[in-house]
Chain A
Amino acid sequence: MSHVEVMNGNRAAGIAACLARPDVIAAYPITPQSSVVEFISRMIAEGKLDAKICEVESEHSAMSVLEGASLAGARTFSATSSQGLALMYEPYFRASTLRLPIVMAIANREMISPQTLWASAQDSLSVRDAGWMQFYAEDNQEILDTLLQAFRIAEDSRVLLPINVCYDGFYLSHMSERVVVPDAEEVDAFLPDGYDPEHIVLDPDRPMAVDPLTNGDLLTEYRAKHLAAQQAALQVIEEVDAAFSNAFGRSWDGAVEPYRIDEGCQAIVVTLGSMTGAGREAVDRLRDDGEAVGLLKIRAVRPFPAREVREQLAGVPAVGVVDRNVSFGWNTGIIYQEVSSALYGVQGTARIPIISGLGGEDITVEMFEDALRKILVAGRLSSERRDETPETIWLRQEKEGGAA
């Protein structure tokens, strides 16, 4: 039987990791992720988790240790944030190009400078093209559930790619809420076997040379297969979510989750991560005022669910994307660019870039209401005007006695 606990997001991530019965864990402490590695260390020390943990001297080594372990056939887990992720970029990229199904939680934190500790997906979104899959969770239950799904998606023979489950630092990592914790037996049934690689392994009983110097035509073939595996993952994500729903009675709608989107929708706001809760509340309030608005939550950024996003958004008069991150050189956020690419060629749908909540600033329900009203206004323009490139909206909280 499952049970209910009140816990923060880091504990939810730690519990999920333990339930997945990893063989080898390596992680280096960094705010706001630290309590994940502390929790797992304690579980091992108390004999509640049978696994090897490596007390590494850096995130670079954390990912490197997991690559070695994964090459030996171990199921592996790590967690990091921000500068730690940046430090591990070299082995991070390689984990995906070696096709190692490593699972890593990321408690999202801004990249410095200026010096900062607080939430933004700038860290993980900046490495979205390093070949990993990336999921973004809205609440602590979703962290736990998505991590359990992540092992199964990553190890699927059609995929064999590493995966991040990302969640906003402090907003989720340190915020406590109700979480249903499944029993170990239930998880064992959902996620049965340990990882047993056939495609790449270091084992004297099955000798092979791993990753010799490779020329361009073969490298191109590897890349084509890697890209195909990302696309295949979209189907696997749906299947795993269905299996999860069967096993635990909770579905997360796969790669995107629509909220109150219907035929007559005049404006949709696109969200990522913990901001989604405030977005839902704002949608409810505007619906109460008679406005036909909805919300689309992006769960998977890699693979990007372009078809689903297009199906949900094409034909709606106006769409706004709220980004808690920036895309340098584009004057927008990163998810805006992703959504715009998915909507390429669609006419008559205004696309409004909105940047908000950087450095962990709150994005309130009122700010989402404001955003939705601005999106509605854009949707009332003529069809031609809607296709023009709009100005980016910097949505900031009114602060007493200070700059907006």
Chain B
Amino acid sequence: MNILEKLSAPDMISPGISACVGCNVELTLRTVMRIVGENSVLAIPPGCMGGVGVVGWDKLSGARVPVFFPLLTNTASMLSGLRLAYDRQGKTDTHVVAFAGDGASVDAGFQALSGAAERNDRILYVCYDNEGYMNTGYQRSAATPKGAWTSTTPHGKLQVKKDTPRIMADHRIPYVATCSPAYIADLVAKVEKAKANRDGFSYLHVLTPCVSGWGFPPEQSIEICRASVQTRYFPLYEVDHGQYRITVDVPKPRPLKEYVGRLKKFRQTTDSDLAEMQTLVERQWHELIALERATQDPEMARAG
């Protein structure tokens, strides 16, 4: 089946949810749920997708699969409970899916996320990372990069972004991947792997640039996503049973300025800030190459 056929699967989200114009999170959610399909239960914690009405009313609005609001803090734990109950009832084919923002994943919800990953509970967890609390007025989170304006870091954030996909990979769960709405075929392949994973926890981390909170024109939404990958700011890779693999190679990266310079949230960024960011991006890429090499041996991967 080619990618277009896969994407013609039924849309599990009703039309007319009230996301901002140009929102690539909505696109990501629809894509993920087309692939996951109807035998699933969807957790939407407080955040953008909760705010725009994905937890709807009786399938007339919102999601067309059973959907609920976990707390900001307990998405993964509630899914652990659903998983245990379904396994006990023999509903082992029912997917329990989280679609949670970075606040609900890397900040307040991180303890529950880490706990469920350590237990290796069979959950498909998607974090849409718009680098802050975009739904409540653009406040800082641990996923906000250094230097970025938010409503609580008016002079730019002082600390670097927490590298959550790497932290999740270090839980040694069966599947971790980073994804981008600009690379739909790559996203679909990763959702399929996560869906097929019967060995335990799957974690997908999607960078979802925010039109409203970051400051760029809606029609550039996908271009910005692509620039985040092509500058190596957000590398696309997977960690499949311990084996790292860069899935979208960027042999000739664009200068980071071509991404940072298009975002109002980095308007205060100086040349020296940019140089520092460029260094971090390069280091991150080289670490990934090293991890890819170090985990290539399948024997090592199994042991890992």
A207 to B12, CA, bound (A): 12
Q: Which residues of B contact A74 (CB under 8 A)?
A: 81, 84-85, 88
Given A54-B80, A72-B89, A91-B74, A60:B66 Cβ within 8 A: no
**B111, A72: Cβ atoms closer than 8 Å:** no
A3 to B53, CA, bound (A): 56
A60 to B110, CA, bound (A): 12
Query: At the interface, yes or no: B145 with Cβ under 8 Å from chain A?
Result: no
**A209, B85: Cβ atoms closer than 8 Å:** no
Query: At the interface, yes or no: B70 with Cβ under 8 Å from chain A?
Result: yes
Query: At the interface, yes or no: B231 with Cβ under 8 Å from chain A?
Result: no
Q: In whole Å, how far is B33's beta carbon from the nearest beta carbon of chain A?
A: 13
**A73, B85: Cβ atoms closer than 8 Å:** yes
Query: At the interface, yes or no: B200 with Cβ under 8 Å from chain A?
Result: no
Q: Which residues of A contact B40 (CB under 8 A)?
A: 204
**A65, B41: Cβ atoms closer than 8 Å:** no
**B82, A202: Cβ atoms closer than 8 Å:** yes
Query: At the interface, yes or no: A24 with Cβ under 8 Å from chain B?
Result: yes
A55 to B77, CA, bound (A): 11
A65 nearest in chain B by CB position: B81
**A90, B77: Cβ atoms closer than 8 Å:** no
Q: Which residues of A contact B88 (CB under 8 A)?
A: 23-24, 51-52, 74
Q: Which residues of B contact A65 (CB under 8 A)?
A: 77-78, 80-81, 84
Q: Which residues of B contact A203 (CB under 8 A)?
A: 41, 66
Tell me the B48-102 residues at the A interface (CB within 8 Å).
Answer: 50, 53, 55-59, 62-71, 73-74, 77-89, 94
Query: At the interface, yes or no: A224 with Cβ under 8 Å from chain B?
Result: no
Interface size for chain A: under 10, 10 to 19, 20 to 34, or 35 or more residues? Answer: 35 or more
Given A24-B81, A204-B40, A210-B68, A73:B89 Cβ within 8 A: yes
A175 to B8, CA, bound (A): 65
Query: At the interface, yes or no: A56 with Cβ under 8 Å from chain B?
Result: yes
Tell me the A198-223 residues at the B interface (CB within 8 Å).
Answer: 202-204, 206-213
Tell me the A49-69 residues at the B interface (CB within 8 Å).
Answer: 51-52, 54-58, 60-61, 64-69
Query: At the interface, yes or no: A174 with Cβ under 8 Å from chain B?
Result: no
Q: In whole Å, how far is A234's beta carbon from the nearest beta carbon of chain B?
A: 30
Query: At the interface, yes or no: A26 with Cβ under 8 Å from chain B?
Result: yes
Q: In whole Å, how far is A198's beta carbon from the nearest beta carbon of chain B?
A: 15
A64 to B45, CA, bound (A): 13
**B56, A26: Cβ atoms closer than 8 Å:** no
Point out which of A60, A68, A73, A74 has the most chain B C-beta atoms below 10 A from its C-beta. Answer: A68
B75 nearest in chain A by CB position: A64
Q: Which residues of B contact A57 (CB under 8 A)?
A: 111-112, 114-115, 118
**A72, B81: Cβ atoms closer than 8 Å:** yes
Given A56-B77, A60-B74, A209-B57, A204:B84 Cβ within 8 A: no
Given A52-B87, A209-B68, A69:B81 Cβ within 8 A: yes
Q: Which residues of B contact A54 (CB under 8 A)?
A: 80-81, 84, 119, 121
A94 nearest in chain B by CB position: B71
Query: At the interface, yes or no: B39 with Cβ under 8 Å from chain A?
Result: yes
Q: Which residues of B contact A73 (CB under 8 A)?
A: 85, 89
Query: At the interface, yes or no: A71 with Cβ under 8 Å from chain B?
Result: yes
Query: At the interface, yes or no: A70 with Cβ under 8 Å from chain B?
Result: yes
**A60, B86: Cβ atoms closer than 8 Å:** no
Tell me the A151-200 residues at the B interface (CB within 8 Å).
Answer: none
Residue contacts A-B, CB under 8 angstroms, 18 given: A54-B84, A56-B77, A56-B115, A64-B70, A65-B77, A68-B77, A68-B81, A72-B82, A72-B89, A90-B73, A202-B82, A204-B40, A204-B66, A207-B65, A209-B56, A209-B62, A210-B55, A211-B69
Chain B residues within 8 Å of A, Cβ to Cβ: 38-41, 50, 53, 55-59, 62-71, 73-74, 77-89, 94, 111-112, 114-116, 118-119, 121
Given contacts A54-B80, A71-B78, list 17 more A-B pairs with CB under 8 A: A23-B88, A52-B87, A55-B119, A61-B116, A67-B81, A69-B81, A71-B68, A71-B82, A90-B73, A90-B74, A91-B74, A202-B41, A204-B40, A204-B65, A208-B66, A211-B55, A212-B56
